[in-house]
């Protein structure tokens, strides 16, 4: 059987036609395709504003800046994420700390967050921003986090990079609870623009700040200028911004991908349901489920119960069989850079215990049932110590 990746983009002829149309039009970048994409994304996610960015890391960076993060600020996030969830605060000169995960949801633990907030209030070191991560597309407990944010005075920056199309309490992820929500359109994500990101918010002032920050801090709005315009060509740089803009080529692809989001999500749900069924009798902890939220199913991650074969042995057996499994994620605080800031092994035991046995299995819309059965049978043999199927 041909190599099966853990994820793969879904590109159809309509996607290609949408990009080709931009190539034949007047604008390759900073044209009409960007606001079209932003409007469609905002509508799909039930948000007042959607601001497109060059990638999700850039979006996290600017979101931190828009929320006033800077030197002297403290930002908390989950150790179970890609390093960008923490790096964004470091880019702003802020200090970073972590809140351990719930072993069942693999997201930031509400209990650990409450405990840490109580201690931080006593010590006078409350966070300015908390960045919960919707790991694998499964939304965090944002309603309860919102109550804590209102009580302790921090902002919520939701890292929804995995959660395009997910829902929470009957509403689309990114529509409520968080001050800002960030989505990713990297090639392995649910909707892709090759590289790209989006920030949703219902706050008009934050949206205006983000629009300026993504384009060098420059405005052509006379109402925002410090002086009188010299003419219709005039612009002013009113703050230090960045070139974090998406292109029309990417936006056209994103708009067309977004139109297929429901169908792609339905296929992911069907595959996840089928994995649950065909893996049910194996010594594995399967992904979380909850009645009040629908995962986007960006990833399907299993944990090998111990005692049992090592994760490394199972991983290598699957790779040798042509199955491109992966591991998400190495806990951020164990990375050498964060160790240099004082973090160490043992600081966040739930995240470390999860990481020790986690494997991400292939999940993407074009995955066939035959391929899925091959993944399951190979995994079954590996767990039994029998090598490949």
Cβ atoms 362, 371 nearer than 8 A: yes
What is the widest separation between alpha-carbon atoms in the chain?
77
Answer yes or no: 189 catalytic.
yes
Which of 104, 116, 128, 189 is flagged as catalytic?
Answer: 189
Please give the Cα distance from 385 to 127 (Å, whole number). Answer: 47
Catalytic residues: 189
């Amino acid at each position: 059987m041909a190599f099966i990746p853990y994820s793969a983009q879904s590109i159809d002829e309509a996607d290609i036609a949408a990009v080709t149309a931009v190539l034949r039009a007047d604008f390759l970048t900073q044209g009409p395709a960007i606001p079209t994409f932003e409007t469609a994304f905002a509508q799909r996610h039930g948000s007042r504003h959607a601001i497109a960015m060059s990638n999700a890391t850039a979006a996290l960076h600017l979101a931190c800046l828009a929320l006033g993060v800077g030197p002297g600020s403290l930002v908390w996030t989950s150790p179970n994420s890609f390093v960008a969830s923490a790096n964004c605060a470091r880019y702003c000169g802020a200090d970073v700390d972590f809140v351990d995960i719930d072993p069942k949801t693999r997201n930031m633990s509400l209990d650990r967050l409450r405990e840490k907030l109580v201690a931080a209030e006593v010590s006078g070191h409350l966070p300015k921003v908390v960045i919960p991560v919707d790991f694998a597309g499964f939304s965090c407990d944002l309603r309860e986090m919102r109550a804590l944010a209102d009580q302790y005075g921090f902002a919520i920056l939701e890292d929804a990079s995995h959660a395009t199309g997910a829902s929470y309490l009957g509403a689309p992820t990114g529509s409520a609870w968080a001050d800002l929500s960030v989505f990713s359109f990297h090639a392995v994500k649910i909707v892709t623009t090759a590289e790209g990101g989006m920030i949703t918010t219902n706050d008009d002032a934050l949206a205006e700040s983000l629009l300026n920050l993504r384009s060098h801090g420059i405005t052509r709005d006379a109402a925002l200028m410090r002086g009188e315009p010299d003419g219709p060509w005039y612009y002013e740089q009113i703050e230090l911004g960045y070139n974090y803009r998406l292109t029309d080529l990417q936006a056209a692809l994103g708009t067309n991908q977004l139109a297929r989001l429901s169908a792609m999500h339905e296929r992911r749900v069907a595959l996840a349901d089928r994995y649950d069924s065909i893996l049910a009798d194996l010594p594995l902890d399967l992904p979380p489920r909850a009645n009040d939220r629908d995962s986007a199913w960006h990833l399907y991650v299993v944990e090998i119960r111990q005692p049992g074969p090592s994760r490394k042995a199972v991983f290598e057996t699957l790779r040798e069989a042509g199955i491109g499994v992966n591991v998400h994620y190495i806990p951020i605080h164990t990375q050498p850079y964060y160790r240099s800031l004082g973090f160490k092994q043992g600081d966040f035991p739930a995240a470390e215990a999860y990481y020790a046995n986690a494997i991400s299995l292939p999940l993407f819309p074009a995955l066939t049932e035959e391929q899925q059965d091959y993944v399951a049978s190979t995994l079954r043999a590996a767990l039994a110590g029998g090598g490949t199927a």
